[in-house]
Structure 1
């Protein structure tokens, strides 16, 4: 499976759960997942019946455009999966302060709140028997042998 040793950023997960408050459903979360063969990493993925929740953790301030670009790229990879919605968030911790951002429908990064994120965690989680089977690396890998246009 594409799970690996927990990096520093993912260690912020307990703080995020605390910020969202009690009674937050944190089951069925996949931390530090990498798509096999292409090593595309996601800090947190959570699946419900119709939605994929992606949360990226930052342990230091990052320029907003870099966060936005990462979430857009993540959304591209996740859009190939059989779910109707993708919710993309970034949780940034700078010392004692924390900031939450989300990617809106226009792919623009906007400020969010733990309460808004908690609404996505409140959806009933759906465990994946083998998360690697959801991702087909052939959809993302480019090969000159796949080019039928003869460019």
Structure 2
């Protein structure tokens, strides 16, 4: 699979990500992750793994910033947010930034080097709200793992 095919698959998956979903892309055999995404009700948060990048090099930092990443002073990753709902063009920009980050800054030469983990967190009870047994039963139990169509990218155990 080439990067364009992977971008199309990733775009489709990300547009369909609903609240409490997580997607982690990792380079097979490498520690940590390359990029990961999670959705909340009003935003999609993306993170890129920066361990191993030379953050003392102004060109590396400038490129991360050009790609929309923000240093939130977290030790191993930088963040980026997409307010939801968002137009498909905004998702496309995020997908392009994710792929460029993996290719240029993390050394991923092909999407075939990637694997993924994905899951949907169980729906939690709202604090201070009283639930009937039926309402508790109706809460979404989540899905772990959550299979995705990423064009043959293998799934890792969650």
Instruction: Compute the TM-score of the two structures, normalised by the length of structure 1.
Output: 0.29
Which protein is bigger by CA-based radius of gyration? 2
Structure (1 or 2) with the greater strand fraction: 1
* Higher relative contact order (Cα pairs below 8 Å, separated by 6+ residues): 2
